Amino acid sequence: MRRGPPLSAWLVAAAAAVVLVPRVPERREVRLENNRFQPALVTARAGDTLLFVNGRGGPHNVQFADDSLTDVQHRLIDAAMPDRPRATWSRDVPLAGPLLVLEGDTYRVIVPDLPPGRYRFFCTPHVSGGMRGELVLVP
């Protein structure tokens, strides 16, 4: 009987493939509509793009809750959020994206290299109405 390479050789090859093949970043779309984030729970990995798309009932925005972030995490999210004042980093500046006014306006955040976990966000004008969401960052 002809035999192939031993199992250990296959395992080494499989491990090498996992290491060498880069993961293609994915895009997660979240609609801001009817005072809700849809979906409200977004699972993503570092490097993925979160594309927030404004619907009706705006203006809406995206603000990350910062009460349970370390300084490093705060800085990483701060740097990942475009179109914000960022002359000097400060814990006191809220992690709030600009208001999306028109239907179809978008806001793009590339998920920074944060530790896996849950990162809460909300819409500044509608937080009291429960417009909240969560980024579930997986390894």
* 57: Cβ contacts below 8 Å, ≥ 6 apart: 33, 34, 35
Nearer to Cu ion among residue 26 and residue 103 (C-beta): 103
Q: Which is nearer to Cu ion, 46 or 97 (CB)?
A: 97
Choosing from 36, 60, 78, 137, the residue that interacts with Cu ion (CB under 5 A) is 60
Q: And the tokens for 59?
A: 């203006």
Q: Does 42 bind Cu ion (CB under 5 A)?
A: no
Question: Hey, CA dihedral for 86, 65, 114, 73, is it positive or negative?
Answer: positive
The C-alpha angle 72, 107, 77, rounded to 5 degrees, equals 0
Q: Does 36 bind Cu ion (CB under 5 A)?
A: no
Q: Please report whether residue 126 would count as binding Cu ion according to CB under 5 A.
A: yes
Instruction: Give whichever of 66 and 126 is closer to Cu ion, judged by the CB atom.
Output: 126
Closest separation in Å from C-beta 56 to Cu ion: 11
Token readout for 93 is 């500046």
Q: What's the gap between Cα 130 and its chain centre?
A: 19
Which position has the token pair 């603000």? 63
Sole binder of Cu ion in the list 131, 133, 135, 137 (CB under 5 A): 131
- Footprint of Cu ion (CB under 5 A): 60, 123, 126, 131
